[in-house]
Amino acid sequence: NAGVMQNPRHLVRRRGQEARLRCSPMKGHSHVYWYRQLPEEGLKFMVYLQKENIIDESGMPKERFSAEFPKEGPSILRIQQVVRGDSAAYFCASSPPVKNIQYFGAGTRLSVL
Amino acid sequence: TQLLEQSPQFLSIQEGENLTVYCNSSSVFSSLQWYRQEPGEGPVLLVTVVTGGEVKKLKRLTFQFGDARKDSSLHITAAQPGDTGLYLCAGGPMGAQKLVFGQGTRLTINP
């Protein structure tokens, strides 16, 4: 069974560029979550999605950040016009329907130069 | 805002000793999960507890969920160097499908 797959594992962007992070959930999981881990800090919830729907985006910054989980394909976290403060590890997790038991991917480490 | 306070933040002990890590909150959680995270990797799920007072054992690790579902503990018996890592507790808030994480406990077991 493949786990939660995230790519790329490492992403380097210059200030002002766009970052696109991809996440494929575990087989049979229809719920996807994105978390951010800043250096020396804990994981912070960003957004919770089901197929074609954003359920809870209470942790998403109001500007430049967006997420989607289309009917086909992986979930995408998009960060427009990146700034140095966006440098962090971004983790995706997935869970089966009904149960809030989340399994995490290996993360994407974003570095903004 | 629901918070989870983990203690201690850092713990360094000798191989063979026992230890307990605590995870406390003033809020009630529908479930509590413990993860272990290695450098450069994502959190790996160790256990989920959902019932107040629940105790689960995983080899030398014992997890307990408080009766009021506001706190949890992780106890390791006869710690080994392979137990070294970052341990995270995460709570599922009532009525919400997300996780609130503690700051983590960085555990070092010295041979």
- Mean pLDDT calculated for residue range A66-86: 96
Q: Give pLDDT, residue A82.
A: 98
**In terms of CA atoms, which chain B residue is nearest residue A96?**
B97
Residue B46 pLDDT class (50, 70, 90 cuts): very high
pLDDT at A95 over 90: yes
pLDDT at B2 over 80: no
CA distance B80 to chain A (A): 25
pLDDT at B57 over 70: yes
Q: Give pLDDT, residue B35.
A: 97
pLDDT at A66 over 60: yes
Using CB atoms, which residue from B40, B41, B92 is nearest to A100?
Answer: B92
CB contact under 8 A, A56 and B97: yes
- Mean pLDDT calculated for residue range B35-58: 94
**In terms of CA atoms, which chain B residue is nearest residue A40?**
B103
Put simply, whether B104 touches A (Cβ < 8 Å) is yes
Q: How far is A96 from A58, CA to CA, in rounded Å?
A: 21
Q: Which of A27-41, A77-91, B63-77 has the least mean pLDDT?
A: A27-41
Contact B10, B89 (CB under 8 A): no
- Mean pLDDT calculated for residue range A9-28: 96
Tokens 């989340």 sit at which residue?
Answer: A102
Share of chain A above pLDDT 70, in %: 99
Q: Give pLDDT, residue A108.
A: 98
A102, A110, A111, best to mutate vs chain B, most B CBs in 10 Å: A102
CB contact under 8 A, A101 and B97: no
Q: Give pLDDT, residue B83.
A: 96
Contact A100, A81 (CB under 8 A): no
Using CB atoms, which residue from A41, A101, A106 is nearest to B42?
Answer: A106
Share of chain B above pLDDT 70, in %: 99
Question: From chain A, which residues contact B within 8 Å (Cβ)?
Answer: 4, 6, 31, 33, 35, 41-45, 48, 55-56, 59, 91, 93, 95, 100-107, 109
pLDDT at B95 over 90: no
Share of chain A above pLDDT 90, in %: 82
- Mean pLDDT calculated for residue range A48-62: 94
Put simply, whether B101 touches A (Cβ < 8 Å) is yes
Tokens encoding B89: 């507790």
CA-based angle A105:A111:A112, to the nearest 5?
A: 140
Residue A39 pLDDT class (50, 70, 90 cuts): confident
Q: In whole angstroms, how far apart are CA A67 and each of A75, A84, A98, B73, B87?
A: 7, 20, 22, 34, 28
Q: How far is B76 from B84, CA to CA, in rounded Å?
A: 11
Q: Give pLDDT, residue B1.
A: 65
Q: Give pLDDT, residue B65.
A: 96
Q: What contacts A99, CB < 8 A, 6 or more positions away? A: none
CB contacts < 8 Å between A and B, how many? Answer: 60
For B90-110, letters b (16+ CB in 10 Å) and e give bbbbeebbbbbbbbbbebebe
Give the pairing type, strands A88-95 and B10-14: unpaired
Tokens 């996440």 sit at which residue?
Answer: A23
Contact A32, A49 (CB under 8 A): yes
